[in-house]
Amino acid sequence: DAGVTQSPTHLIKTRGQQVTLRCSPISGHKSVSWYQQVLGQGPQFIFQYYEKEERGRGNFPDRFSARQFPNYSSELNVNALLLGDSALYLCASSLDSDRGTDTQYFGPGTRLTVL
Amino acid sequence: GESVGLHLPTLSVQEGDNSIINCAYSNSASDYFIWYKQESGKGPQFIIDIRSNMDKRQGQRVTVLLNKTVKHLSLQIAATQPGDSAVYFCAETQQAGTALIFGKGTTLSVSS
C-alpha cells in the first residue's frame, strides 16, 4: 500500500519567491497535517485540514497557507520566502481528526532551501 | 522524590544491548503519546503509541512506559540492532487536539 507521498523532493528558491508543496495522503485518510522541521529539531505543527476545512493552525505567519482538495490531497503555500523558511516540510495523514488521537503517518518530506 | 530519566541528546550502545530513550512531555492535559523514528533524509516513522489510561504497552522489541505523575515517557528497545540507528522523537497530543507536539530528539547510534 502506498504511504503518504510528497512532491517535490527537493526545492531551491530565492528570498521573496513563493513556493507550493504537495501532499497525497494514505488512501482512505481524510485528514492532512503539515509540519516544518528545521535541521536538528523536532517537527513543528503548521496546519491540519480535515474534510477540506482547516482544523488547526500553529504559530506561523500569514505567509503560510494551505488547502485540501476533494480527493483529500493538500497543498502548502509559502509566500515571500525568507532564509529562515529553509527546512524539511513534512506532511502527515490520519484517518479522522475528529477523534484527535488518530495516528499520524508521515511522508518523506520536501527539502526546501531558500538562498 | 522519584527519580526521572534524563533526556539525552545522544545514546550509543552495542549491538544486542537494550536501549532506553527518555522523554519529558510538557502538557498534563495530553492523553495520547507516540514514538517516532527518523532516519537521515526521511520522514518520521511510527513506532508505537500509548494512551493516557495505560502505563505500559509492548510491541515487537519495543516497550513504551508512561508515568503521568512526573510527565515522563520512555521507549525501550530490546536487542538493539544497527538498523535501529536513527533519531527518536516522542510526541504528545491533547484529547481534542489536532497538533502533535514533538519533544527533543535522541540520536541512537548502534555499533556492531
The total number of structural domains that make up chain B:
1
Instruction: Give the span between the Cα atoms of B76 and A22, in whole angstroms.
Output: 35
Chain mean pLDDT for chain A: 93
Q: What is the pLDDT of residue B29?
A: 86
- Cβ distance A45 to B36 less than 8 Å, yes or no, reads no
The answer to the question of residue B9 being in a domain is: no
DSSP A62: T
Which chain B residues have a beta carbon less than 8 Å from that of A106? 36, 43-46
Interface mutation target, options A60, A98, A101, A111, chain B, most CBs of B under 10 Å: A101
Residue among A4, A45, A105 whose CB faces B99 most closely: A45
Q: Is residue B57 part of a domain?
A: yes
Q: B112 in a domain, yes or no?
A: no
All domains in chain A, ordered by first residue: 5-114 (2.60.40.10)
Residue B4 falls within a domain, yes or no? Answer: no
- Report d(CA B67, CA A53) in Å as an integer: 35
Beta-carbon contacts of A3 under 8 Å, excluding residues fewer than 6 positions away, are A26, A105, A107
B109 belongs to a structural domain: no
CATH, residue B85: 2.60.40.10
> Which of B50, B98, B102 should be substituted to probe chain A, the one whose Cβ sees the most A Cβ atoms within 10 Å?
B98
Q: Are B18 and B83 in contact (CB under 8 A)?
A: no
CA atoms within 13 Å, Cβ hemisphere of B10: 4
pLDDT digits (tens, 9 = 90+) for A72-86: 999 999 999 999 999
Q: Which domain holds residue B63?
A: 14-95
What is the C-alpha to C-alpha distance for residues B97 and A34, in angstroms, rounded to an integer? 15
* Best mutation target, A104, A110, A111, A113, to test chain B (most B CBs within 10 A): A104
- Counting one residue from chain A and one from chain B, the pairs whose CB atoms sit within 8 A come to 62
- Name the A residues in 67-86 with CB < 8 Å from any B CB: none
pLDDT digits (tens), chain B, 112 positions = 333 456 789 999 999 999 999 999 888 888 899 999 999 989 999 999 999 999 999 999 999 999 999 999 999 999 999 999 999 999 998 754 578 999 889 999 999 8
In chain A, whose CA is at the least distance from the CA of B39? A108
pLDDT at A99: 60
Residue B38 corresponds to which amino acid? Q
Mean pLDDT confidence for A44-68: 94
Would you say residue B2 lies in a domain?
no
pLDDT given for residue A98 in this prediction: 61
Measure A106 CA to nearest chain B CA, in Å. Answer: 6
For residue B76, being part of any structural domain is answered with yes
- Give φ, ψ of A15 to 5 degrees: -55, 140
What distance in Å separates the CA atoms of residue B75 and residue B13, rounded to the nearest whole number? 14
B110 within a domain of the structure (yes/no):
no
